[in-house]
Amino acid sequence: MRELIIKTEATTEPVTTAELKSFVGYPGTDSSVETLLDNLGKSARLRLEQYCGRNFVEKTMILTESDVKRSVKLPFGPIRAITSVKVYDEYGSLDETLTADDDYYLIGEFDKYCKLESWFDGAYVAIEYTAGYGDNTYDLPQSLKDAILMQAKYDYDHRGRSDTQVIASEVKNLINPYRCNFL
């Protein structure tokens, strides 16, 4: 069993209402259009995150893994830090909370692994971690920000139509270098 949940979603988006308005060419001040653009921007970000396998904004994630090896690759990087690693028995009861730099290590530069010092037989591990772009260490690359704007504009221009692409081809071409599939 491998399950990934988002514990805490980002509170701010990487593109602003003003950037969206400018990019789609909307000069007005109608709040319903601004709300639509904000929703399209968030929707575009979420779809592009799924496509890339990366978090464009900081989130807290919990990965539950039952087929535990000596290391567990953490999806949807860039990985910032591990908050906790907990081991549960086969009945779902907490068996042990592991200690950083003793029972487990975070290894790797960008896409990271949780390296466990012990083998856990018949149990599962829950790893809570923070991941995503959004500070000086891992600023969101401009091409990913541009992709969000391009996808939001595509969605704005094609709203109400049923013959549209989930992700525009030119957007896919722009973000393919950031794609990482390992879930």
Alpha carbon distance 80, 44 (integer Å): 23
Nearest partner of 151 among 170, 179, 133, judged by Cα: 170
> What percentage of residues in the chain have a pLDDT greater than 70?
94
HSE-up of residue 118 (Cα within 13 Å, Cβ side):
16
The residues spanned by each domain of the chain are 13-54+141-178, 59-131
Q: What pLDDT was estimated at residue 105?
A: 93
18-72: per-residue pLDDT in tens? 999 999 999 999 999 999 999 999 999 999 999 999 999 999 999 999 877 788 9
Q: How far apart are the first and last CA of the chain?
A: 12
> How far, CA to CA in Å, does 61 sit from each of 79, 127, 135?
10, 8, 18
Between 5 and 161, the more confident residue is 5
63-106: per-residue pLDDT in tens? 999 877 788 999 999 999 999 999 998 888 998 899 999 999 99
- Contact by Cβ (8 Å): 159, 152: no
The number of angstroms, rounded, from the C-alpha of 155 to the middle of its chain's C-alpha atoms is 21
